[in-house]
Amino acid sequence: MGLSAAAAGDGAQLCVFDLRRGQQEGQELDKILFFHPADCPILLQLSVIGLCEGIVTFTRIFSPEEDCEVIESEKRSQVFYQAEPDIWMVLVVEKTKDNVSTWRFGALQGILKEAHSLFTMFHGPIRTLLDRQPSAELARGHLRTFLTDYLSDFHVGKKLQFPTYRDSLKERGTIQMLTVPREVALEVQSLTTVLGSCLGSVTCQSLVLFEDLLVSTTLPPDDTLNLYTYAVLRLTPRALSSNASSWSYLRKGTSVNAGPTSSSSNGTTAGERYHSRSRDTSPDGQNQMHHNFRPLLREKFSKGKDGFVAPDFAATEVRGAVPLTPILWFQQAEERMYLCIYQHKSLTILLLIPASSLINGEEGIAHVKKQMLENASQKIVTVEQKLTRGWGGENAYHVSGYRYLLVDPDRRVSRASPPGKVTTLAKDSLLALNRLRQEVDLEKSRYRRSDPCHDKDFEVCIRTKNNAWVIAKITRGRELYMALEKGGETLLYASTAVEKFSNRYCEGAFSTD
Amino acid sequence: MDPPPNPNPNATDAQPQAEAGVRLAALSLRGGRDLPPDFEIHEHHLDDDDDDDDDDEGYLTAASRGGSSTCAWKGLRDDDRDGDGDDVSPPSPSSSGYAGERGSSLDDDPDPEPAQDWPRNKKHLDEDDASSSWRKRKKHFFILSNSGKPIYSRYGDEHKLAGFSATLQAIISFVENSGDHIKFVRSGKHQIVFLVKGPIYLVCISCTEESYEGLRGQLELMYGQLLLILTKSVNRCFEKNPKFDMAPLLGGTDAVFLSLIHAFSWNPAAFLHAYTCLPLAQPTRQAASAVLQDVADSGVLFALLMCEHKVISLVGAQKATLHPDDILLLANFILSSESFRTSESFSPICLPRYNPMAFLYAYVHFFDEHTYVTLLTTRSDAFYDLKDSRSLIQNVLLKSNVLIEVQRSLHESALHVEDLPIDPSSQSASQPPQSSQDMSSQSLSSEMAIGGPAGLWHFIYKSIYLDQYVSSEFPSSISNQKQQKRLYKAYQKLYASMHDKATGPHKTQFKRDDDYVLFCWITQDFELYAAFNPLADKTQAIKMCNRVCQWVRDLENEIFVYGESALSWQYHHCWGGK
């Protein structure tokens, strides 16, 4: 024990372990459900998990109700997330001279939460997989492929690079919405109605995206967030065409090494296809999918002639197999649904067909698709045209002079300055903003603990050593973060700037009066 | 923030004496290497001289030295209970001060009796890590050796905590063995902060919402306090014997650590790294400084005249400067050890920031209940010389009425925000000044809370070049300890935020939450921390901050020590040698 973690090649580790397993001495390895990098020596894996388990147990002496969140040491940060009871995910990031104090624990924990939410959407809860197959082979198989594919988005060269201070005007786990004029909104609503009736008596759910922005949803917020996140990762036109990480722009133009490295590195065969699904309607029915089902494997998606995006796992890999439509589990809606993806130019439509209502599988899906093309094609074209006409491009939400992030945690929505504009900020401004966000995260969790029912208002304006203003303001649960580099020296200038922004772009949500 | 007069209960006079004896005996366990060869002789002299001095000093009576006070007793209890949190604190304005942790009446049992053996109750020796009451304590401090042997625990019997201590050691060593150093663990509202100092591990487990930087700074001070008592040469004991049991060396010094831990919730010096002075008219302070300077010229390394935690005058030998942290630790050591009050003392102490490896020798004498002189020398045989020097100082202080002025200042000269001079150009913005005597209880959230103009409640001004700060008295809106501690913690966080290692120091910060508007302004010359009513107007608050700075400059001759001391070059650098 006590081995140096330097052996981990890419400077980061991600592990998933189950504290209910491996209770007997000598069986500790059984706790480990996933470990990245896979070639990390077993002793080192056990060392990492041993420390994590020790700390989890130790902190419970003092705070039995609360989870251990972070271990910070001089050389690394270990961020914890108890994804399910006794199932922990831990991300270990190594510090270098260049990156000390550059990340925010909340942002790192957000990665773990996102990974788990997406995993659950495709494979169901980890505990269910373990209960279904106590040897854990199934759970380990799914976690290995899924998390490896998920982590491929963070690969820069051979190393994993996680969000840093440069991403302090981003909020993972939120949706970016497209603001549409009223008449277009009516068109979208009409389209949603048509999409909902594709199956006839049972209502289908749908998400409509324009570029990477959400236009409409009929799902509850958490489910919307998960599906939206998946869409932006892999399904939108940009995700499909670039075959690159949707977060690549966060890395200041660094080229992103896409999937193949990671998928080949873990040595899995590429025989991905859906196994024949049962008609099981239980939430974890999709667990019966073949363990090589890899919804995040980037190059496996392509747009067909009919406009539908197919996860062509089968066609090239297994002769004679037919691509099957994935089933997703929506936790908040408490329903399993087939996912059909239709794309027209910049518009992506995610149509969700309740699995319990579809008794004849792929045939039924084909029928629904046909219905959709017949009934909604024209509306889709119209909506796409109108949205394109009104679309201001990637800098549509740029506000001159401001670098900002607006978050509405209740609705899980955020809006931010375009990444290209954020990169114009000085390093010192971003570092200060990142640090301020870390402080605000702590204040928020303190408020939540002391009074979970009420939002506390909060405001901080800091004049940094490089003469920028970094600002955080929380009003009635909504959050505004801002960096202002050009402008006046006085606090009153900064306050006025926030006031103007709030009045013009936030309907006065952050205004003093 | 000013400590009230210490009641200094006599009931346990015997106990501190015994403690001191234990401590000194423990020190002597370390052999002659670190102790003056004639140390015990000095102890003997010390007793002899005590009587003489009593005769000399007509004003030093039994009454002025001791006497328990029910009021203070209650205050102490409140103070201890929420020493690290905000759970219990009925208003007790009289108990805000240092007396809290020094006193022999400390206890936070629900229904306390003035205990005979207060340290036992204070520490809750019946508790250990299996007790739910122990687990619920808001702030634990542990010192242990790298072999896992407990050295100090704020709560519980160290011996019973051996297993717990071993667990802490295992965690720290596990990380150390991988070539890394653990800094902190966070779990909900609990934060576990680690500090490794060679063979000594320090750990704080807290749910007080303080920042990591703040808690780490407190552990650094705990370590400093340990060095002050033992010097860093104690490491050699661990080199010789890794299983060395250090706890006996600190025997009887519980009160010192408890007092320091208490300071972490009221004394801004603990995070500002600056000291504060007792306000005095310039001629009075000059008289004191002149005689200290005379003494320093005759071979004393440092001469300090202090009133409680406030410096009256401070003189160092040429080129020798005293770090504010050392002043804090030294004052804490002296004020928390009853034996210093009851007798003329000559004791080996180490100033960790000056030289952590070596002992100096401190001659300490209390002129009255609050005021004491400390003469520090490198000579272990200087007792008689210093005793003579003290006589000289005492004569001058008496002749020039310094001690009377000190008493007066202690009760009258504090800064009250209500007295902030009104700017003639903006009188309309100011409320009429309130009487500083008006201590009617006000709710913190009350819009009508009384304070200074424009909702100003409190401020701390630190002169960077002088390493000194001045803070205002708490207004009636922050009259009880719970409120004061909350503000203290808010300042502490603000300080940490402004001085962030990676991004700071920032220039300005404005922060508004449900409790306050806080304002911080850092320039090359000073740092200003100000607290306002949460509804305060931003424009007016900025005006008030400017006015506070002007006010402090107007009063600088009275509220800061400068010019006469070895630190005078700093003063000239700062203020242009006015």
* CA-based nearest residue to B528, from B480, B461, B483: B461
Which chain A residue lies closest to B505 (C-alpha atoms)? Answer: A465
Same domain, A253 and A151: no
Residues A347 and A470 in one domain: no
CB contact under 8 A, B503 and A432: yes
Cβ of residue B45 closer than 8 Å to a chain A Cβ: no
Query: Measured between CB atoms, does B135 come within 8 Å of chain A?
Result: yes
Q: How far is CA B343 from the centre of its chain?
A: 22
Which helix (H) or strand (E) element contains residue B242?
Answer: none
Residues of B in contact with A61 (CB under 8 A): 129, 135
Q: Has residue A398 been placed in a domain?
A: no
Q: For residues A51 and A100, state if they share a domain.
A: yes
Kindly report, residue by residue over A363-405, the tens digit of the pLDDT: 888 888 998 999 999 999 999 999 999 888 888 899 988 999 9
Whether residue A5 contacts residue A45, with contact meaning beta carbons closer than 8 Å, is answered with no
Hey, is the C-beta of B87 within 8 angstroms of any chain A C-beta?
no
Residues A110 and A194 in one domain: no
* Mean pLDDT estimate for chain A: 84
A379-402 b/e with 16+ CB inside 10 Å = b? bbeebbebbeeeeeeeeebbeeeb
- HEC letters along B209-241: CCCHHHHHHHHHHHHHHHHHHHCHHHHHHHHHC
Phi, psi of A382 (to 5 degrees): -60, -50
Q: Answer whether residue A428 is part of any domain.
A: yes
Residue B492 contacts residue B214 (beta carbons within 8 Å): yes
Nearest CA in chain B to A458: B513
Interatomic CA distance for residues B445 and B48, integer angstroms: 56
- pLDDT tens for each residue of A113-135: 999 999 999 999 999 999 999 99
Find residues 166-225 of chain B whose CB sits inside 8 Å of chain A: 167, 170-171, 173-175, 177-190, 192, 205, 207, 209, 212
Type of residue found at B528: L
CATH number for the domain including A161?
Answer: 3.30.450
Q: Given A4, A459, A464, which is nearest B179 (Cβ)?
A: A4
Contact A449 B189 (CB under 8 A): yes
Find the residue in A nearest to B183 (Cα): A73
Q: How far apart are alpha carbons B161 and A53 in whole angstroms?
A: 22
Q: Using DSSP, state whether B443 is helix, strand or coil.
A: coil
The Cα–Cα gap between B567 and B240 comes to 41
**How far is the C-alpha of A372 from the C-alpha of A383, rounded, in Å?**
15
User: CA torsion, points B21, B22, B25, B27, in degrees to nearest 10?
Assistant: -110
The nearest CA of chain A is from the CA of B547 a distance in Å of 17
Which residues in chain B touch residue A428, judged by CB atoms under 8 angstroms apart?
A: 503
Three-state DSSP class for residue A217: strand
Cα separation, A12 vs A94, in Å, equals 6
Please answer whether residues A323 and A313 qualify as being in contact, where contact means their C-beta atoms are separated by less than 8 angstroms. Answer: yes
3-state secondary structure of B402: helix
CATH fold for domain B417-575: Beta-Lactamase (3.30.450)
In a domain, A395, yes or no: no
B576: left (phi over 0), alpha (psi -120 to 50) or beta: left
Cis peptide before A37 (omega within 30 of 0): yes
Mean pLDDT of A320-333: 76
Angstroms from A247 CA to nearest CA on chain B: 26
> Which range is most confident: A202-216, A268-282, B306-320?
A202-216
Strand pairing report for A458-463 and A175-176: unpaired
Strands (E) in A163-300, as ranges, are 175-176, 205-210, 213-217
Assign A100 a pLDDT band (cuts: 50, 70, 90): low
B200: helix, strand or coil: strand
Inter-chain CB proximity A61 and B179 less than 8 Å: no
pLDDT at A286: 44
Q: Are A312 and A324 in contact (CB under 8 A)?
A: no
Helix or strand or coil: residue A309? strand
Q: Name the domain boundary from A167, A195, A219.
A: A167
Answer for the pair A195, A383: CB distance below 8 angstroms, yes or no: no
Structure tokens at B186: 């966070």
Nearest to A462 among B129, B182, B509 (CB): B509
Burial of residue B399 (number of CB atoms within 10 Å: 0-12, 13-18, 19+): exposed
Beta bridge partners of A72: A77, B184
CA separation, residue B112 to residues A460, B116, B122, B407, B481 (Å):
43, 11, 11, 32, 19
Neighbours of A419 (CB within 10 A): 18
Cβ count within 10 A of residue B55: 8
Q: Are residues A146 and A195 in the same domain?
A: no
The verdict on a CB contact (< 8 Å) between A58 and B171 is yes
With H, G, I as helix, E, B as strand and everything else as coil, classify residue A92: strand
Domain boundary among A167, A198, A229: A167
Residues of B in contact with A445 (CB under 8 A): 188
Listing DSSP states for B488-554 in one string gives HHHHHHHHHHHT-TTT---SEEEEE-SS-EEEEEE-SSEEEEEEE-TT--HHHHHHHHHHHHHHHHH
- State the maximum Cα–Cα separation within chain A, in Å, rounded to a whole number: 70
- Whether residue A236 is contained in a domain is answered as yes
Best CA proximity match to A307, nearest among A342, A338, A339, A340: A342
For residue B427, how many other CB atoms are within 10 A of its CB? 10
DSSP A21-85: S--STT-GGGGEEEEESTTS-HHHHHHHHHHHHHHHHHHHHH-TTS-EEEEEESSEEEEEEEEET
**Among the three residues A390, A421, A442, which one is the final residue of a domain in this structure?**
A390
Are A201 and A239 found together in one domain?
yes
Q: Report which of A511, A435, A425 is spatially closest to residue A473, judged by C-alpha positions.
A: A511
- 3-class SS of residue A433: helix
Cα–Cα–Cα angle for A435, A440, A444, nearest 5°?
A: 150
Q: Are residues A233 and A277 in the same domain?
A: yes
Q: Where are the alpha helices (DSSP H) in B137-281?
A: 162-177, 212-230, 235-240, 254-263, 269-272
Contacts of B501 in chain A (CB under 8 A): 101
pLDDT reading at A298 higher than 70 = yes
Q: Is residue A323 part of a domain?
A: yes
Q: How far is A86 from chain B (nearest CA, A)?
A: 15
**A234 is in which domain, residue-wise?**
175-390
Segment B520-526 long-range contacts (CB within 8 Å, at least 24 positions apart): B520/B494, B520/B495, B521/B545, B522/B498, B524/B464, B525/B463, B525/B464, B525/B465, B525/B574, B526/B461, B526/B462, B526/B463, B526/B464, B526/B552
CA separation, residue B185 to residues A16, A189, A332, B194 (Å): 19, 49, 32, 9
> Structure tokens of B170?
């295992």
CATH architecture of B31-65+274-412: 2-Layer Sandwich (3.30)
Option in A71, A446, A463 nearest B508 (CB): A463
Pick the residue of B128, B135, B177, B186 with the most A CBs within 10 A to test the interface with A by mutation. B186
Is B445 touching A (CB cutoff 8 A)?
no
In this structure, the answer to whether residues A335 and A203 fall within a common structural domain is yes
Q: Hey, which residues 491-550 in chain B have their CB within 8 Å of chain A?
A: 493, 497, 500-514, 538-539, 542
pLDDT greater at residue A513 or residue B437: A513
Beta strands in B408-507 (DSSP E): 456-463, 468-471
CA distance B256 to B245: 20
Domain spans of chain B, in order of start: 31-65+274-412, 417-575
Alpha-carbon span B14 to A254, nearest angstrom? 73
The DSSP symbol for B473 reads: P
Sequence-distant (≥ 6) Cβ neighbours of residue B29 within 8 angstroms: B248, B249
pLDDT in tens, chain B (578 residues): 333 333 333 333 333 333 333 332 332 223 333 333 332 323 333 233 333 333 332 222 222 223 222 232 333 333 343 444 333 333 332 222 222 232 222 233 333 333 333 343 467 877 888 788 888 899 999 999 999 999 999 998 888 899 999 999 999 999 999 899 999 999 999 999 999 999 999 999 999 989 999 999 999 999 999 999 999 999 999 889 988 998 888 888 999 999 999 999 999 999 999 999 999 999 999 999 999 988 888 889 999 999 999 999 999 887 778 999 999 999 999 999 888 988 889 999 999 999 999 999 999 999 999 999 999 999 999 999 999 999 999 999 999 999 999 999 988 878 888 888 876 544 433 333 333 333 333 333 343 456 778 889 999 999 999 999 999 998 888 888 889 999 999 999 999 999 998 888 999 999 999 899 999 999 999 999 999 999 999 999 999 999 999 999 999 999 999 754 444 434 333 333 33
A224 phi and psi angles, rounded to 5 deg: -60, -45
Q: Can you say whether the dihedral through the CA atoms of A60, A61, A64, A69 is positive or negative?
A: negative
Q: How many domains are there within chain A? A: 3
Distances from the Cα of A418 to the Cα of A104, A214, A508, angstroms: 20, 16, 22
Is the pLDDT higher at A357 or at B461?
A: B461
Q: Which amino acid is at B508?
A: T
